[in-house]
């Protein structure tokens, strides 16, 4: 018998695999185009990565990490799990966070975020810094709230202008301007309603807590840009899930060729490629020479 957490993780992976298989994302031979390549879990946090089969040969350097920040770092009920990998010669890191709740705990959340950035991958087995990666995505329940009292928020939730006023007073938006670590990160334009707190299986807010944009996705890096950022109206929880799509330009190691005499050689080190992710179902890889295009 597996543990409840392990059963849940396997259920998530099976669900993702089922979706990918049934979206018609298969190769000419009928085999799935995407396969699970890495996962990491800690208490209620879980991240799983699927990659297109055609790109697996340029993926390397996989490692995972976790940071506990609950009860001053003694428990994993709050914290982060991380997956890092290298695409060609470009290191990428994806971080899944869950920070402390509470209207007044802005400083505590900022300290927790700092601890995550400083402590992830700091072990005997691995020694990386999150901020050393060329492309970084941080997603999850940041638990930041709106700096307004509940009655003011209730009044403002009835109009688009009022919602924009709430976003103006959003704690994470302000932290990204003031905090020394959050300032590293950007966020796509926030153009959806609050992600918390709803009555489960309903579209109504649960006014035991004031609505807020707790669930967010941040990113940083010179060669990464956001393409989409949206909320999904799945109502099984008191949160609403969100998603984002990014484009990342990466450096590839020089491709190896085997000329007629059978001796392998490489392009010069400055040979570069560009990866573009224009849709959730396609990845185009282009280089100076040769050119390779991969489509689902």
| pLDDT confidence of residue 85 | 95
Residue 265 lies inside a defined structural domain of this protein: no
Residue 267 lies inside a defined structural domain of this protein: no
CA distance 241 to 141: 10
| pLDDT confidence of residue 281 | 28
What range does the domain containing 208 cover?
11-248
Torsion of CA 168, 170, 171, 175, to 10 degrees: -50
Residue 276 lies inside a defined structural domain of this protein: no
| pLDDT confidence of residue 124 | 61
For residues 112 and 13, the model is more confident at 112
Residue 180 has pLDDT above 70, yes or no: yes
Query: Are the CB atoms for 272 and 289 separated by under 8 Å?
Result: no
Residue 294 has pLDDT above 70, yes or no: no
Those residues whose C-beta lies under 8 Å from the C-beta of residue 243, and which sit 6 or more positions away, are 217, 228, 229, 230, 232
Q: Which range is least confidently modeled, 85-94, 148-157, 242-251, 285-294? A: 285-294
Q: At what angle do helices 171-178 and 106-119 cross, to 10 degrees?
A: 60
Q: How many structural domains comprise the chain?
A: 1
Those residues whose C-beta lies under 8 Å from the C-beta of residue 158, and which sit 6 or more positions away, are none
Q: What is the pLDDT of residues 195-213, one digit of tens each?
A: 999 999 999 999 999 999 9
Residue 241 lies inside a defined structural domain of this protein: yes
Residue 292 lies inside a defined structural domain of this protein: no
Q: What is the pLDDT of residues 98-151, one digit of tens each?
A: 999 999 999 999 999 999 999 999 876 777 899 999 999 999 999 999 999 999
How far lies 91's CA from each of 43, 109, 254, in Å?
A: 27, 27, 16
Which sign, positive or negative, has the C-alpha torsion 237, 79, 244, 33? negative
Q: What is the pLDDT of residues 149-174, one digit of tens each?
A: 999 999 999 999 999 999 999 999 99
The sheet with strand 282-287 has its strands ordered as: 273-279, 282-287, 292-294
Beta-carbon-side half-sphere exposure of residue 226 (alpha carbons within 13 Å): 18
Residue 194 has pLDDT above 60, yes or no: yes
Residue 76 lies inside a defined structural domain of this protein: yes
Question: Domain of 174: which CATH number?
Answer: 3.60.10.10
Give the mean pLDDT of 259-275. Answer: 39
Q: What is the pLDDT of residues 71-88, one digit of tens each?
A: 665 566 899 999 999 999
Residue 25 has pLDDT above 70, yes or no: no
Share of the chain above pLDDT 70, in %: 79
Residue 285 lies inside a defined structural domain of this protein: no
Report angle CA 150, 153, 154 to the nearest 5 degrees. Answer: 85
Q: Is 46 helix (H, G, I), strand (E, B) or coil?
A: strand
CA distance 182 to 175: 6
Pairing status of strand 59-70 against strand 75-87 = antiparallel
Query: Could you tell me how far CA 208 lies from the centroid of its own chain?
Result: 29
Residue 270 lies inside a defined structural domain of this protein: no
Query: Are the CB atoms for 146 and 170 separated by under 8 Å?
Result: yes
Residue 27's pLDDT band (cuts 50, 70, 90): low
CA distance 90 to 140: 24
| pLDDT confidence of residue 28 | 57
């Amino acid at each position: 018998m597996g543990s409840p957490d392990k059963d849940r993780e396997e259920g998530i992976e099976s669900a993702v695999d089922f979706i990918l298989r049934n979206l018609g994302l298969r190769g000419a031979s009928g085999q799935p185009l995407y396969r699970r390549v890495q996962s990491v879990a800690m208490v209620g946090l879980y991240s799983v990565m699927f990659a297109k089969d055609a790109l697996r040969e340029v993926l390397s350097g996989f490692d995972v990490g976790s940071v506990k920040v609950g009860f001053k770092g003694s428990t994993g009920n709050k914290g982060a799990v991380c997956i890092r990998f290298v695409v060609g010669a470009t290191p990428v890191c994806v971080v899944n966070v869950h920070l402390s709740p509470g209207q007044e705990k802005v400083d505590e959340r900022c300290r927790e975020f700092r601890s995550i950035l400083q402590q992830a991958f700091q072990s005997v087995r691995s020694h990386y810094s999150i901020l050393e990666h060329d492309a970084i995505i941080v997603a999850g329940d940041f638990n930041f709230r709106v700096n307004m009292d509940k009655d003011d928020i209730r009044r403002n939730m009835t109009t688009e202008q009022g919602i924009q006023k709430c976003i103006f007073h959003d704690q994470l938006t302000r932290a990204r301007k003031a905090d020394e670590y959050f300032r590293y990160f950007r966020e796509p334009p926030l153009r959806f309603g609050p992600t918390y707190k709803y009555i489960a299986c309903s579209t109504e807010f649960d006014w035991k807590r004031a609505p807020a944009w707790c669930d967010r996705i941040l990113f940083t890096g010179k060669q990464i840009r956001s393409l989409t950022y949206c909320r999904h109206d799945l109502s099984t929880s008191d949160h609403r899930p969100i998603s984002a799509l990014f484009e990342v330009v990466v450096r590839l190691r020089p491709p190896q060729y085997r000329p007629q005499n059978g001796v392998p050689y490489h392009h010069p080190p400055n040979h570069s490629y560009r990866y573009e992710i224009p849709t959730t179902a396609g990845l185009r890889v282009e280089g100076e020479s040769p050119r390779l295009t991969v489509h689902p």
